[in-house]
Amino acid sequence: MECVYIFEDSFIDENFDAQPELDKNPEDREKQRKIIAAPSVRRAKSSIDNETKQLQEARKKRRNTVFIKSNLGMDLIKKVDLEEVYDVFKQLGTGRFGYVQLAEHKQSKLKIALKFFPRPQIKQADFVREYNYSYFLSPHPNIIDTYEGMYQTHDESAFFFVQEFCPSASLREAVERSPGGLTEDVTRVIFTKVLSAMEFMHSENLVHRNLKAENILIFDIERYTRVKITDFGLTRKVDSTVKYLEYVNCYHAPELCETVVNEVLTVNKSLDIWSLGIIFYYCLKGKFPWQKASIMCKPYWEWEQWLKRKSPQLPKRWDPFSEKSLKLLKRCLNPKAKDRWTVKEMRKIITKERLLKEAKHTFSFDDHFVYLDEENTVKNYGTIPKITKKKSALGNWINNTWATMSEISEQVVSAQD
């Protein structure tokens, strides 16, 4: 059974102190209100190709973003008759607190995504906060674009805001189409863009808290030139506090799996780093390393034992990773949150180093590469004699000891399960 944990804030406005206030000038403030409440899609994504210029533009837009306190938001939420403004087609996805529908804006003929929050299921403050963070972050080229305006349906049954539509697939769907995982090059391209978005978020002291393959959208499944992060419903400021309410999934760090109901947790960037490590593994392997980061889960227990050097041999599922990738995974998937890497440190490995070991040994004869198979036969070049080494007495003792330890470990974990 898949594990799913949900977290919510025990309080809201106390921890939302990073938001700039509305302009004090009454005229400017009224103009801002009109812009936010306008029932149309006004803002388009910059067409600048240069990433540096895009980030500069993003920072300029962020400074001009209007953040609304939850107790001021109601008069800025515009009532809209959906049938008059949009042609709504189909449902794209659902979540615990809402759902997303594909629509077309009648005036601009632009296909968009409408994110709905049924009022019986969500508080106004939660809706306003998610819109604030979504719009605040959206100028970054690798974060889903959120258009200006908070709305509610004409019958007041749901809140909603407007985002750009992704016509292709999520990262989860892309991996599922590639048995055994994505290639090293594709993973590098995707992760470079994801890390750019996360470095931007963390530079603003914001933690996503819900990073997973389903929340990474790929706009062109063939070239992977447009990759964007979405869903900021759980985003919180660093050092804010949240209450643990329910349950967690395989993307969450062990400190989240060990909490109890109503326990207060402090938000920090290491939560996102752990999730990024899980997604990195998932991209290259096509499956998750474990169902839950708990010692009661055998695959995780084996990983933790190896990290603590209580087990001398790396679990086999980690063998395909290169030395540098394994270093990255050790630092991202470290049970000690304070020892986890930053996004910048992850980027150095992913952009510059080999991520997977070579599947076969490579030799060169007369400037040609030939590949050694399991029987030590080089195709088209005859046979290479197998190289053997004498095992020392110490080596035999280590192997025998490890076999015994592995057998005992399996018995212990089986007894716990």
- With contact defined as beta carbons under 8 Å apart, do 257 and 248 qualify? yes
Is 316 labeled as ligand-binding? no
210 noted as active-site residue: yes
Sign of CA dihedral 256, 262, 268, 269: positive
- With contact defined as beta carbons under 8 Å apart, do 8 and 97 qualify? no
Please tell me which residue in 15, 210, 249, 268 is annotated as part of the active site: 210
CA atoms of 344 and 349, how far apart (whole Å)? 9
Residues marked as binding for ATP?
115
| Residue numbers annotated as active site | 210
Residues marked as binding?
115
